Amino acid sequence: MKFLIKACLLITPCVSFNAAAVCSFSSASKALSTTITINSSLSIPRDTPNNTTLFESPIQTVTGSNDFSCTVVSSWGVKNNLGTDSATSDIFPIHDTGLAWQWIYNGAPASGANGKTTIEANKSYTFSTTKNSLRLLKIGPIKSNAKIPAGDIGLMKVGALTTMIMRLSQEVKVVAQSCESPDIKVDMGDHDLGDFSESGSSSKPTAFNIRLNNCPAGIKKVMYRLEPTPTTPAWNASLGIVELNNSSTAKGIALQIMDNNQTPLALNKDHLFSDYATTGGNFTIPLSARYYRTLPASNGGKGDPGVTPGTANTEVSFVMSYL
């Protein structure tokens, strides 16, 4: 970082940084301010990766009489008015919203106050003509009804002296964008034991859809993931096969989930929905499922006692990601 040094007068030898910092403005000088305007609603795809930049304001050059000096070596940096402070970080949380902000000072994020960045004693400095902007980041799950309040969000402190103020002109409501995705119940129908005469044999596929309703504009990518449940674990995750639940009476089979081309969908892996449009709307993800014999055939016959008829139910979780 660089300051404009307006004058230099050495009065005393270096004073320990641990001494109390006494900083003040020269005559007629005062704290400068930069006011940032953001739309009153900021929409963010719900599953945007952490540390993604969500917004960066245009650069503002602050001007005005702002000369100040300190009688001892003094630290300078950002005081966060919206959450916790850190002298070693340049990322400042906005309460528990899942968002954070940065003060971009002359092209780089400024660190927190009371850190290692210092100015010398008995020299005159100014923040006038420096370039400043605001950057918003996602740092965690976006809290429902999250808001960024209007007013002073942070201060540039030199010792105990406030030298610059960054403020928002209006409150900002943060919307985590997603689609509506109702639960799905798939009727797999009835099947003859003869369909499962050999290990790895299967029934005919049954088509079904994951529905994405009322998707807002602005989501750029949709991913989906199939996850086994604690009561229906994976039999073969790479082939998309899950075991039947404990209430099922059929034995020797499991359920395999595939795409609409009957290609097995690996479990616990994100799959891209390639037909999604960023303009939003309603969509369907076409998939299929079939029963799959898991037991080896003991005699190779249709009446193999290893497969038992009965009910064959299972559950799989579909986890959607909106990016």
Fold of 178-322: Immunoglobulin-like (2.60.40)
Same fold, 7-176 and 178-322: yes
The letter for the amino acid at 206 is T
pLDDT confidence of residue 128: 98
Question: Hey, where are the domains in the chain?
Answer: 7-176, 178-322
pLDDT confidence of residue 268: 98
Check residue 151 and give left, alpha or beta (phi > 0: left; psi -120 to 50: alpha). Answer: left
Give the long-range contacts of residues 233-236, CB within 8 A, separation 24 or more: 234/267, 234/268, 235/294
Instruction: Please check whether the domain covering 7-176 is classified as CATH 2.60.40.3310.
Output: yes
Tell me the C-alpha distance between 101 and 55, whole Å. 9
Tell me the C-alpha distance between 94 and 21, whole Å. 28
Beta bridge partners of 212: 283
Of 78, 38, 34, nearest in space to 55 by CA:
38
Q: Is the dihedral of CA 117, 120, 121, 122 positive or negative?
A: negative
SS3 at position 269: coil
pLDDT tens digits in sequence order for the chain, 323 residues long = 222 323 222 223 333 343 455 999 999 999 999 999 999 999 999 999 999 999 999 999 999 999 999 999 999 999 999 999 999 999 999 999 999 999 999 999 999 999 989 999 999 999 999 999 999 999 999 999 999 999 999 999 999 999 999 999 999 999 999 999 999 999 999 999 888 888 899 999 999 999 999 999 999 999 999 999 999 999 999 999 999 999 999 999 999 999 999 999 999 999 999 999 999 999 999 999 999 999 886 655 455 567 899 999 999 999 999 99
Tell me the C-alpha distance between 304 and 295, whole Å. 10
The letter for the amino acid at 199 is S
pLDDT confidence of residue 147: 96
Question: Between vectors from CA 189 to CA 180 and to CA 242, what angle results, nearest 5°?
Answer: 65
